[in-house]
Amino acid sequence: MKSFDAIVIGGGQAGPFLAARMVEKGMKVALIERKFLGGTCVNAGCMPTKTLVASARAAHVARSGAVYGVNIPGEIAIDMKVVRARAEAVTMNARNGLIGWFAGMDGMTVIYGHARFEDPKTVSVNGETLTAPRIFLNVGARPVIPDLPGINDIDYLTSTSIIHLDTLPRHLAVIGGSYIGLEFAQMYRRFGAEVSVIEHGPKLASREDEDISDAIADVLRSEGIDIHTGVSDIAFARSSDGITVATDSARIDASHVLIATGRKPNTDDLGLDAAGVITDKHGYITVDDKLATNVEGIWALGDCNGHGAFTHTSYNDFEIAAANLLDGDDRNLSSRIPAYALYIDPPLGRVGMTEKQARASGRKIMISTRPMSRVGRANERGETKGFMKVIADAETKKILGAAILGIEGDEVIHGIIDAMNAGTTYPALQWSVPIHPTVSELIPTLLGDLKPV
């Protein structure tokens, strides 16, 4: 049996950085990864997909050049092999950077294999047994494949496998109208494929307020994406030239099907029972405000704990654990203000409560909205789709939440994220003097238009 000061299972966006911090403190650490360092973000999520989004936007801008007085003769052609190679290069650069970083650390042992608990202090991997007083789980999540009629008879794609396509689908059917599915839908439409989105719920991006969901649908429909919502029945069958997707309201002749119906934690094959670690009904590991599980000496970080399915929340889990365990700090998971983005174009930046959540909280609230058509920078760039929205507490004057669906919305939202984290009231933020011409300069104006509801 090999002994360590700590064992980290999973090489995503929390565990490896915590392992590096512990090594800096002179500890002996084993980092176990069953496949690739970097987790979903580096290998099948943010980095490759946003690289693909950038290629798709380049195609869209090229096709739109005439509007700006830039005439490009001939058809805009897409070389999917180059598109794929570019995304793969971004992934490999990041992955190899992590490999090189860890290889140079004395005290770090990287093991590739599938780890399982033998007891609360012991794990087995590749026939070896390792033990440590502290074990950190950062095992991530994977796509959910729903049990739908005919699904096992077709060759479907997931968010992991579609990034390896080097040919253009004739017609891509996206099953699921949430964040991952919508990004791929617009991306492949811009590459030149016909695209249909099929969603069980009544709206796309159902987590959002209805006005945001409707605006997202408008953006996608304006680019020729076929959207089907409120679909109760879906079945698949092979056809002579692809896949038939039959719903209760339509029949779609697709060449490819992307299943984007959510993700589930990679916790079902870790031997958690042997360690006594509790999970909820969805398989997420139950943690307290310090990210500790119910078993002393075991923590869960990142997607597998159900407290955020994003790279930035996973990294913040690392920061919380490192601050509390290594720096003598007292940081809590509950102090984190939720924020995220949807990377369609224009993007959606979101922070805090939705209007629906704010109304349900019983607070006296104020709301302000502003269309992007009334933002100078958006008009100058010729990108006026979407709108800005902010919700505030009428009594405390604190900002409760905001959504910016529009040009650079994923960046502009950070002005509000920072203000919320600093506890700044909206009247104070109104007195800032932003740079002109930017999208962010309209935040004080947006706040000045807050009205009670």
Per-residue model confidence as pLDDT tens digits over 407-417: 999 999 999 99
Q: What is the pLDDT of residue 249?
A: 87
Total structural domains in the chain?
3
Residues with a known catalytic role:
436
Say which CATH number the domain at 274 has. 3.50.50.60
Amino acid in position 205:
A
Whether 90 and 16 map to the same domain: the answer is: yes
What pLDDT is stored for residue 410 in this prediction?
98
Residue 349 shares a structural domain with residue 368: yes
C-alpha 410/C-alpha 165 separation (Å) is 27
Q: Where a domain ends, among 304, 335, 366? A: 335
Domain containing 400 equals: 339-452
Annotated binding site for FAD: 50, 303
Average pLDDT over residues 157-161: 97
Known binding residues for NAD(+) are 176-183, 199, 262
- The Cα–Cα gap between 330 and 324 comes to 5
Mean pLDDT in residue range 191-215: 98
pLDDT, tens digit, 9 for 90 and up, residues 261-307: 999 999 999 999 999 999 999 999 999 999 999 999 999 999 999 99
Known binding-site residue numbers: 50, 176-183, 199, 262, 303
Is 397 exposed, middle or buried, given 0-12, 13-18 or 19+ CB atoms closer than 10 A? middle
**What is d(CA 184, CA 201) in angstroms, rounded to the nearest whole number?**
19
> Does position 375 have pLDDT exceeding 90, yes or no?
yes
- State the pLDDT at residue 370: 98
Taking residues 306-322, what's their average pLDDT? 96
Q: For residues 388-402, give the mean pLDDT.
A: 98
Same domain? For 188 and 112 the reply is no
SS (H, E, C) 274-339: HHCCCECCCCCECCCCCCECCCCCEEECHHHHCCCCCHHHHHHHHHHHHHHHHCCCCCCHHHCCCE
Both tokens of 54, joined, read 């950038």
Contact 304, 268 (CB under 8 A): no
Residues 59 and 164 in one domain: no
Whose tokens are 């060759």? That residue is 155
| Residues 280 and 358 grouped into a single domain | no
Residue 97 has pLDDT above 90, yes or no: yes
User: Domain containing 354 — which CATH number?
Assistant: 3.30.390.30
Q: End of a domain among 335, 369, 389?
A: 335
353 and 425 belong to one structural domain: yes
Report the pLDDT averaged over residues 173-181.
Answer: 97
Question: Average pLDDT, stretch 347-369?
Answer: 98
Sign of CA dihedral 113, 117, 121, 126: negative
Same domain, 285 and 382: no
Tell me, yes or no, whether 277 and 129 share the same domain: yes
The domain boundary, picked from 335, 357, 373, lies at 335
Q: List alpha helices for 172-310, DSSP H.
A: 179-191, 210-222, 272-275
Same domain, 131 and 175: no
